[in-house]
């Protein structure tokens, strides 16, 4: 029996965890999870019988999953440190994951925050080892704040890049930057050709508006809040929802500003608390 959930989608799909950065330099933001915490969480989940789903398995009805202890493990932003601190741990446990890439950032080694992103070469190598990659937009702009044409460009260009590099499978899913989505963005994603769309903690029954629970810095227990069915899990999801909404501060930092670096504004303005 599944516990209390915040939305309808959770009743028909497996739970989805969302990590951002694993290990590497400390930051002021809330999205970095230490390598040892991540390793402990994944090992505990594996020992408890949890298994990860591929994006394709996740897209099937819940009843087709072999075990109720299945979840979709996702990473946002595509930091290069995943290849060093996260993927090897998952390989050892027989886990897989889906990473949502900011497609214009792939191959960009350093932003102002000195955090490199995965390269296409790394992505292709890890894909060959059973990992999955999808879209997190072209430049990580908050889609709900953009004009319709800009939303279409962000979604369309990102999907085109992924399909061109990875084949049709690369264009299946999108995780909306900051989890920010509304009916208009959902329709744009549908028109662009996406089949699955991941929002914040609160989703609905639309496959392009699915729920996902972020794992933040304070979520250090063996079982992340997003997979707990007890009161602590419910509380943790409420807090994650609030923190996700607070990521609006990061968006404000990304509003157009005078260009001070040779990088595109959206890259130069990306804060370390990126969601
Ligand atoms: Zn993000």
Q: Please report which confidence band the pLDDT of residue 85 belongs to, taking 50, 70 and 90 as the band edges.
A: very high
Mean pLDDT of the chain: 83
Q: Is residue 268 a contact partner of residue 112, using CB atoms and an 8 Å limit?
A: yes
pLDDT tens for each residue of 116-137: 899 999 999 999 999 999 999 9
What tokens appear for 84 in the block? 């060093």
205 Cα–ligand 1 center, Å: 23
CB-hemisphere CA count at 13 Å for 124?
9
Query: For position 241, what pLDDT does the model report?
Result: 81
Q: Is pLDDT of 227 > 60?
A: yes
Q: Which of the residue ranges 10-14, 46-50, 56-60, 64-68 would you say has the lowest mean pLDDT?
A: 10-14
pLDDT tens for each residue of 193-216: 999 999 988 888 899 999 998 887
136 Cα–ligand 1 center, Å: 7
137 Cα–ligand 1 center, Å: 9
| pTM of the predicted structure, to 2 decimals | 0.83
Round to the nearest angstrom and report the end-to-end CA distance of the chain: 31
Q: Please report which confidence band the pLDDT of residue 30 belongs to, taking 50, 70 and 90 as the band edges.
A: confident
21 Cα–ligand 1 center, Å: 10
The more confident residue out of 57 and 254 is 57
154 Cα–ligand 1 center, Å: 14
Q: Is residue 3 a contact partner of residue 229, using CB atoms and an 8 Å limit?
A: yes
Query: For position 113, what pLDDT does the model report?
Result: 57
Q: Is residue 91 a contact partner of residue 131, using CB atoms and an 8 Å limit?
A: no
Distance of CA 119 to the CA centre of its chain: 17
d(CA 206, CA 181): 12
């Amino acid at each position: 029996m599944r516990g209390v959930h915040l939305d309808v989608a959770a009743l028909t799909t497996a739970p989805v965890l969302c990590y951002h950065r694993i290990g590497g330099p400390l930051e002021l933001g809330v999205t970095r999870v230490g390598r040892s915490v991540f390793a402990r969480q994944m090992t505990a989940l594996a020992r408890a019988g949890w298994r990860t789903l591929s994006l394709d398995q996740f897209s099937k009805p819940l009843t087709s999953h072999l075990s109720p202890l299945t979840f979709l493990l996702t990473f946002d932003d595509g930091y290069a440190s995943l290849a060093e601190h996260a993927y090897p741990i998952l390989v050892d446990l027989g886990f897989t994951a889906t990473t949502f890439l900011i497609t214009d950032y792939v191959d960009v080694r350093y932003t102002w925050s000195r955090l490199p992103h995965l390269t296409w070469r790394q992505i292709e190598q890890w894909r060959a080892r059973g990992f999955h990659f999808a879209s997190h937009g072209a430049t990580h702009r908050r889609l709900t704040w953009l004009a319709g044409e800009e939303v279409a460009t962000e979604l369309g260009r990102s999907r085109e890049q992924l399909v061109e590099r990875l084949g049709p499978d690369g264009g299946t899913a999108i995780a909306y930057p900051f989890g920010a989505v509304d009916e208009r963005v959902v329709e744009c994603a549908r028109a662009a050709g996406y089949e699955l769309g991941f929002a914040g903690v609160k989703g609905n029954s639309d496959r392009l508006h699915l729920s996902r629970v972020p794992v933040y810095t304070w979520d250090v227990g063996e079982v992340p809040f997003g997979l707990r069915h007890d009161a602590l899990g419910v509380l943790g999801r409420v807090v994650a929802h609030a923190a996700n909404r607070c990521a609006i501060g990061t968006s404000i930092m990304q509003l157009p500003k005078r260009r001070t670096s040779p990088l595109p504004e959206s890259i130069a303005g990306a804060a370390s608390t990126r969601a």
